[in-house]
Structure 1
């Protein structure tokens, strides 16, 4: 099977349309290792995300917090929060992913009271879901039911999904979530998105720390603090990693040339590109290219 290419725009917003034909809902199985990077890169979306790990273990990073989710457990990720996912110890992690438009959780008249406060709470980036708690077990069962209905599409399945989503959401908010609104946290999230957006628009050009800090309206030291806290790396290391991520797609083109790809993603030296690529991917760009072309020619 060819590697899945996870599409995000320059602002890190995921480009996948999360809906079936009739419903603003998407529910599918994801195998982390099948993605082109070997993990699911940093992104965000307006939809709420519910995850149910059915095989292996996954590590989710949501803003600066990291959560391990083992087989049988789940996770709720709120609208608009940056997140990424990695497989732990090559466990072959597979999870059911349910993405839902916030407006589809409850009837329109109830949205202002029962959904809006939760999707704007700054303390609610995510919620760990354990099957050992009754409410958590109910939420995981709801995810499983919705996944089954979307794939089997029995008669009136859309009504079943709509009512099940209300039950799922009620289980979540009755769990006693304390809502907080912190202006500083909201600004921090926004500034991080602005800096990442700027990098993704200009990655092929020469980039300095000053450029990145300016995009987030921060000093150089504050900019470094943001990246260290949220991404566990420096701004320029992030740029380097992002350039290599971008090169993976280009190297899979039959006519790709390693030197040209290096320059297209912002490296001004082929040898430096090869060295950094080897560090990140544990193989040279040429080896990666041959491996991918070999796999695609056998499918």
Structure 2
């Protein structure tokens, strides 16, 4: 199943339900350039995530780090970590995504000892999974087996999946990664989420830097440093890009025009909206609207 538009709430928490009918997991293929934005936008979720690149290369951002993952390799993304993904070299990157509720990884008796320390570690927001390492190869093979099990639904496949999950987690923790716990890192992550949540609640209004800084309990200068360090952008540019993202859905509605959309997402000038949209999407809002309308018409036919 290809998820083309990730639904997120104001705090950037993903709203997609990551589970099958029976199991609190989801395993599906993602084609990055088929997402409505052309990339996987910034979000987070309570589930832990394993990624296996099956075609091309991708650049993931997890919190403030950017990681290049080549074909055949994978990535572990920890619970609660902000992350996004984009193609490298525009080669049509495809990856398998496995999302798992942490409480389903191991039994309740083992959870506190073998899962909690890892999902709470402040230096384990992600882990690159190299197929050339024995532990990495074991994890990647298990992901493929889980995907196959969900697709084929052979007898007792749920039990087979739980066995593969145990294998994945054992190989993750036996590779010798040393865990650290730094409270300032926890606070930094929470403040960033609070500022983003405030922006997502008020993006259609006039926003001042003081408002964003206050939401994160930071000074104006420290607020700007957070955005630069974690998102590699300024608060203003983030707001502009978020408004453009919100406009994409509105532009696909038949009963809206460009001026209406501009004002609905917080721009007070249609020409300014068109200029920023063109720079971000490499086409005008009207051209985007026509393209989506024509594509929808062709699909219906």
TM-score normalized with structure 2 length: 0.98
Residue 267 of structure 2 is matched in structure 1 by 267
- Which whole-Å CA distance do the structure 1 matches of 2:130 and 2:5 have between them? 30
Q: Which runs of 5+ in 2 are unaligned?
A: none
- Which whole-Å CA distance do the structure 2 matches of 1:145 and 1:113 have between them? 26
> Are residues 3 and 141 of structure 1, via their aligned partners in 2, closer, same or farther at CA, if it must alter by over 3 Å?
closer
List per-residue Cα deviations over 1:237-287 (Å, max 9, x = no partner): 000000000000100011111000000000000000000000101110000
Residue 278 of structure 1 is matched in structure 2 by 278
- 1:3 Cα deviation (Å)? 8.4
Are the aligned partners of 2:3 and 2:30 in contact in 1 as well (CA < 8 Å)? Answer: no
Residue 221 of structure 2 is matched in structure 1 by 221
Residue 149 of structure 1 is matched in structure 2 by 149
TM-score normalized with structure 1 length: 0.99
1:101-250, aligned counterparts within 5 Å? 101-250=101-250
Residue 42 of structure 2 is matched in structure 1 by 42
- Which whole-Å CA distance do the structure 1 matches of 2:264 and 2:257 have between them? 10
**C-alpha RMSD over aligned residues:** 0.9
- Which whole-Å CA distance do the structure 1 matches of 2:149 and 2:122 have between them? 33
> Are residues 297 and 43 of structure 1, via their aligned partners in 2, closer, same or farther at CA, if it must alter by over 3 Å?
same
Residue 94 of structure 2 is matched in structure 1 by 94
Residue 257 of structure 1 is matched in structure 2 by 257
- 1:88 Cα deviation (Å)? 1.1
1:46-61, aligned counterparts within 5 Å? 46-61=46-61
> Are residues 195 and 275 of structure 1, via their aligned partners in 2, closer, same or farther at CA, if it must alter by over 3 Å?
same
Q: How many residue pairs get matched? A: 298
- 1:200 Cα deviation (Å)? 0.4
- Which whole-Å CA distance do the structure 2 matches of 1:55 and 1:137 have between them? 17
Does residue 20 in structure 1 map to residue 7 in structure 2?
Answer: no
What stretches of structure 1 move > 2 A for 4+ residues in a row? none
